[in-house]
Each structure stands twice: as structure tokens, then as C-alpha cells.
Amino acid sequence: MDGGGTFSGATGEKVRVELGARAYDILIAPGALGELGTQLAARHPEARVAVVSDETVERLHGGAVAAALDGKLPVAASITVPSGESSKSFRELERVVHALLDARLERRDVVIAVGGGVVGDLAGFAAAIVNRGVAYAQVPTTLLAQVDSAVGGKTGIDTRHGKNLVGAFHQPVLVVSDTRLLDTLPEREMRAGYAETVKYGLIGDAAFFAWLEGAWREVFAGGPARVRAVATSCRAKARIVAADEREAGERALLNLGHTFGHALELATGLSDRLLHGEAVAIGMVMAFGLSARLGLCDPSVEARVARHLAAVGLPTEPGEIDGELPGAERLIELMGSDKKVGGGKLRFILAEAIGRAFVADEVPMDNLRDFLAERLGKP
């Protein structure tokens, strides 16, 4: 295997993220967690490790992680944070950083993030700033993390100004995606992660989207279809990240649905009222709806996207969110706080068809305001 070690997952796949000297592997297979220690020791034989997870993941998988590391690499620290988006905060970042410093982690050591996107973002950011950069590995335990957030090196925390506005690009040295771990996910979390899986078909792979329309039940059930969905998503992201690591161009396509979605998350207080993947699902439908309104694609395309997401059980309209939402003007203000704003202009990912997305920086504000007023039912 490139990078050291042999991946023995006969039913798995390996995806390489080509970033020169910082290239790394994504290992995808049921049972891949069992190889974590072997794979890391092959790459970092002199390292000690610090494991960061949340309370739920520690309860479900802490024993398996310890067993995978036993006899392979010494564990210098085990750090647990509260479950949920609230852990992506300055308070928890400070706690994790001090715990890593208390353990006297050195640059040759490795932080292992075991969990969903919240743990990966938080632990990855802590690794990026401790000693000006400690290596870290990702063990994503949610579908959203396996197909998206664990790959690509974006790390960070939320602030009162918005999501992910404080962070760093810090690539992992290894990603181990055990698809069997997804069996413990609540159904709502699985659906939320599936929205990010669909995204890869919508931005650049119409054939993948068509396959998902017919195979999504098998993806949820596990087995080869789940491995294929995760691997296809990772290959798409790996290609984009290798071409545009710091989101100067093509990588922005990965934000399909996120400008709308992040604003809706802020409008709901970054709470369980709306999970990130649910917000992305609504945002992707809205992106195709705005594209149709601007004459860029046929309205039937939005209907097809919404039909598939709804069949899976995902929300597709703001009206499906529990509780009151702000009007169009306020949502535009919330969009303005997003890191995807460039030169003071809102940036959207729009589409000409399924699999043909593009970056748009010149959406007429009147069109956007009218579109949002219709979707939200208030100006």
C-alpha cells in the first residue's frame, strides 16, 4: 500500500488523496477499524497517540478503538467531549488543546479523531495549532463524516458569527472509514449524512445520482452498496481537493446547498431542530430551484432532486423545519455571515442539470429576495 502497510480488507476500497508529500489514504471497508493501529504504526512507528471522541462514540466504540491500538502504539491521552454541535466551541477547543499539552504531545505524535464531523473538525483544529501542527488521523463514525468532513483537511469551530469561521486547513495522515460503524447510527443521522452523499452526484456525476436513486436502500442496509457509495464520494472529493486544496476555485462546488443550508442552521440556533445534512438537503433543492428561476435549468430537475431526497426521508423545504423561521431579508443577512462570501458578494453553487454544477458570484439580489420570500412565505 502507498504510505506503508497492507490493507487487507477484501471487501473494501482504498482511495488516495494526492497532495504530494502530504498525500494520504482513505481506507474503506466493514471492519476497517481493526487495522487502525497497524496502519498508523506503519506510517508513524515512533508515535504516541491521543484519542479524541465524544461521549456517545466513546460508549459505543471506545473499546474497539483501544483494542485496535493495543500493542501497536502507546496511548498518551484519551479525551472525551460532549456529543453535539455545541462542542465546536472555543471552550471545548481550549480543553482539548490543554489535554494534548498535558500529555506532552510532540510533532511526531498523532491525534486520532474518532467520531462524526464535530469531533473531526474540533480535534483536527486542535492538532493544527498544538506545537504549530501535530499529525492527526480520522476515524469517521457517521456517514456524513465518511463521505465528506473527514476528507480534505478542513478543520474548525463555530462562533456567534457563524459556522466554521475559525479554523485551519490541516490534512490528516490517514482516514479509516469502517462502514460497519454506521450500523449504530440513529436513522435520522444516517439520512443526514446521505444528503452529502447525494451532493457528489449532483455536482458532477449524474450516473452516480441515478445509481443512488435505485440503490439507496442498499446503502442504508450496509454491505457492498454502502462501501461503493462512500468510496465514490471519497474519490470525487479527493480529486477536487487535490486540484484545489484551499478552495480557490473548483473546491467551492462542494458547497452545493451550503449557502442556504448554513443560513438555515443559524436561523435555528445550530440546534437539533435542523441537522447539518438536513439543512444541506433543503439547500440543494433550493439551489436547483433558484437555478430554474434564473432560467439555468428545467424546473423538472429540481422536482427530481426533491423527489429522491423526500423518498429517503429528508426535508426538502424550509416549511418542514419545526418552529418559526425568519423572512427573506433576515436569511440574506445570515447568508452574508458565511465564509463563502467573496468580495462582499454571496456565492452560490447553481446547476444547469444534475451533474453539471458551477460557481455563481453574480446572482441578482432582487431575484434572490423574491425566491426566498416565496420559499419562506414571508419577505
Query: 192 and 79: one domain?
Result: no
Domain assignment present for residue 123? The answer is: yes
Known active-site residue 258:
yes
Give 23's DSSP letter: -
Known active-site residue 196:
yes
Known active-site residue 44:
no
Helix ranges (H only) for 70-222 are 90-102, 117-129, 143-144, 187-204, 206-221
Query: 66 and 144: one domain?
Result: yes
Known active-site residue 132:
yes
Among the options 88, 170, 235, 258, which is catalytic? 258
Domain assignment present for residue 207? The answer is: yes
CA distance 192 to 20: 33
Among the options 88, 191, 228, 262, which is catalytic? 262
Span 192-237, pLDDT tens digits: 999 999 999 999 999 999 999 999 999 999 989 999 999 999 999 9
Among the options 163, 170, 191, 237, which is catalytic? 237
Known active-site residue 43:
no
In the predicted model, what is the mean pLDDT of the chain? 94
Among the options 247, 265, 278, 302, which is catalytic? 247
Query: 150 and 248: one domain?
Result: no
Whether the CB-CB separation of 288 and 336 falls below 8 Å is answered with: no
CA 45-46-48 angle, to 5 degrees, is 105
Known active-site residue 367:
no
CATH of the domain at 365: 1.20.1090.10
Query: 171 and 215: one domain?
Result: no
Query: 192 and 179: one domain?
Result: no
Among the options 43, 61, 88, 154, which is catalytic? 154
* Single residue among 183, 201, 236 that ends a domain in this structure: 183
Domain assignment present for residue 4? The answer is: no
* Single residue among 134, 156, 183 that ends a domain in this structure: 183
Query: 139 and 236: one domain?
Result: no
Query: 17 and 131: one domain?
Result: yes
Among the options 255, 265, 308, 347, which is catalytic? 255
Known active-site residue 14:
no
Neighbour tally for 333: CB within 10 Å = 12
Span 46-94, pLDDT tens digits: 999 999 999 999 999 999 999 999 999 999 999 999 999 999 999 999 9
Among the options 228, 276, 347, 375, which is catalytic? 276
Domain assignment present for residue 6? The answer is: no
Among the options 196, 265, 278, 302, which is catalytic? 196
Q: What is the reported pLDDT for 341?
A: 57
CA distance 306 to 105: 47
Known active-site residue 61:
no
Span 164-199, pLDDT tens digits: 999 999 999 999 999 999 999 999 999 999 999 999
Q: Which three cell numbers stand for residue 284?
A: 440543494
Span 312-367, pLDDT tens digits: 999 999 999 999 999 999 999 999 876 555 556 788 999 999 999 999 988 999 99
Domain assignment present for residue 8? The answer is: no
What pTM did the predictor assign?
0.93
CATH of the domain at 159: 3.40.50.1970
- The domain of 314 spans 187-376
Whether the CB-CB separation of 212 and 196 falls below 8 Å is answered with: no
User: What are the respective helix, strand and coil percentages of the chain, to the nearest 5?
Assistant: 55, 20, 30
355 torsion bin: left (phi>0), alpha (psi -120 to 50), beta (else) = left
Query: 274 and 301: one domain?
Result: yes
* Single residue among 183, 211, 244 that ends a domain in this structure: 183
Query: 178 and 197: one domain?
Result: no
Known active-site residue 251:
yes
Query: 270 and 141: one domain?
Result: no
Query: 318 and 289: one domain?
Result: yes
Domain count, the chain: 2
Known active-site residue 276:
yes
Query: 153 and 211: one domain?
Result: no
